[in-house]
Amino acid sequence: MIIGIAGILLLCGPAFAADQAMTAAVLDLDAKEGISQGVVSTITDYLRTQLVNTNRFNIVTRENMDQVLKEQNFQLSGCTS
Protein backbone atom coordinates (compact mmCIF):
# COMPACT_ATOMS: atom_id res chain seq x y z
CA MET A 1 0.00 0.00 0.00
CA ILE A 2 2.80 2.42 0.86
CA ILE A 3 4.49 1.67 -2.43
CA GLY A 4 1.21 2.39 -4.19
CA ILE A 5 0.84 5.76 -2.45
CA ALA A 6 4.43 6.70 -3.22
CA GLY A 7 3.99 5.58 -6.83
CA ILE A 8 0.90 7.74 -7.29
CA LEU A 9 2.69 10.75 -5.84
CA LEU A 10 5.71 10.19 -8.07
CA LEU A 11 3.54 9.83 -11.17
CA CYS A 12 1.62 13.00 -10.34
CA GLY A 13 4.79 14.92 -9.57
CA PRO A 14 5.62 16.00 -13.15
CA ALA A 15 2.14 17.54 -13.47
CA PHE A 16 3.14 20.27 -11.03
CA ALA A 17 5.43 23.15 -11.86
CA ALA A 18 8.89 22.76 -10.37
CA ASP A 19 8.59 26.02 -8.43
CA GLN A 20 5.20 25.24 -6.88
CA ALA A 21 5.07 23.01 -3.83
CA MET A 22 1.82 21.26 -3.02
CA THR A 23 0.65 21.31 0.59
CA ALA A 24 -0.06 17.83 1.89
CA ALA A 25 -0.46 15.89 5.11
CA VAL A 26 0.57 12.32 5.76
CA LEU A 27 -1.76 10.76 8.29
CA ASP A 28 -0.44 8.09 10.62
CA LEU A 29 -0.70 4.68 9.03
CA ASP A 30 -2.58 1.93 10.89
CA ALA A 31 -0.83 -1.18 12.16
CA LYS A 32 -2.43 -4.35 10.83
CA GLU A 33 -2.02 -7.95 11.88
CA GLY A 34 1.60 -8.98 12.21
CA ILE A 35 3.06 -5.45 12.05
CA SER A 36 3.93 -3.57 15.22
CA GLN A 37 2.88 0.03 15.81
CA GLY A 38 6.58 0.94 16.11
CA VAL A 39 7.31 -0.31 12.59
CA VAL A 40 4.26 1.48 11.21
CA SER A 41 5.30 4.71 12.94
CA THR A 42 8.79 4.41 11.43
CA ILE A 43 7.35 3.86 7.95
CA THR A 44 5.02 6.86 8.36
CA ASP A 45 7.94 9.10 9.38
CA TYR A 46 10.02 7.77 6.47
CA LEU A 47 7.23 8.57 4.00
CA ARG A 48 6.92 12.11 5.36
CA THR A 49 10.69 12.61 5.14
CA GLN A 50 10.88 11.34 1.58
CA LEU A 51 8.05 13.63 0.47
CA VAL A 52 9.77 16.63 2.05
CA ASN A 53 13.05 15.66 0.37
CA THR A 54 11.43 15.87 -3.08
CA ASN A 55 10.97 19.63 -2.55
CA ARG A 56 7.56 19.24 -4.20
CA PHE A 57 5.51 19.13 -1.00
CA ASN A 58 4.98 21.30 2.04
CA ILE A 59 4.04 18.73 4.65
CA VAL A 60 1.79 19.98 7.43
CA THR A 61 1.65 18.39 10.85
CA ARG A 62 -1.48 16.92 12.40
CA GLU A 63 -1.78 20.01 14.62
CA ASN A 64 -1.53 22.35 11.61
CA MET A 65 -4.10 20.30 9.74
CA ASP A 66 -6.53 20.48 12.67
CA GLN A 67 -6.12 24.28 12.80
CA VAL A 68 -6.74 24.62 9.06
CA LEU A 69 -9.87 22.45 9.24
CA LYS A 70 -11.22 24.46 12.20
CA GLU A 71 -10.64 27.70 10.29
CA GLN A 72 -12.37 26.31 7.21
CA ASN A 73 -15.35 25.19 9.27
CA PHE A 74 -15.53 28.64 10.89
CA GLN A 75 -15.47 30.35 7.49
CA LEU A 76 -18.16 28.00 6.15
CA SER A 77 -20.40 28.78 9.14
CA GLY A 78 -21.13 32.21 7.70
CA CYS A 79 -19.85 34.05 10.77
CA THR A 80 -17.13 35.80 8.80
CA SER A 81 -17.26 38.41 6.10
What is the residue-level pLDDT of the chain in tens, covering all 81 positions?
A: 555 555 555 555 555 455 788 888 888 889 999 999 999 999 999 999 999 999 999 888 877 888 888 888 888 887 765
Per the structure, the count of domains in the chain is 1
d(CA 50, CA 6): 9
Alpha-helix runs per DSSP H in the chain: 2-12, 37-53, 62-76
> In the prediction, which pLDDT does 9 show?
54
Whether 42 maps to a domain, the answer reads yes
- Report the DSSP pairing between strands 22-24 and 57-59: parallel
Domain hosting 64: range is 2-76
Phi-psi map region of 34: left, alpha, beta (phi>0 left; psi -120 to 50 alpha): left
Would you call 47 exposed, middle or buried from its count of C-beta atoms within 10 A (0-12, 13-18, 19+)? middle
> In the prediction, which pLDDT does 10 show?
53
> In the prediction, which pLDDT does 17 show?
52
Whether 81 maps to a domain, the answer reads no
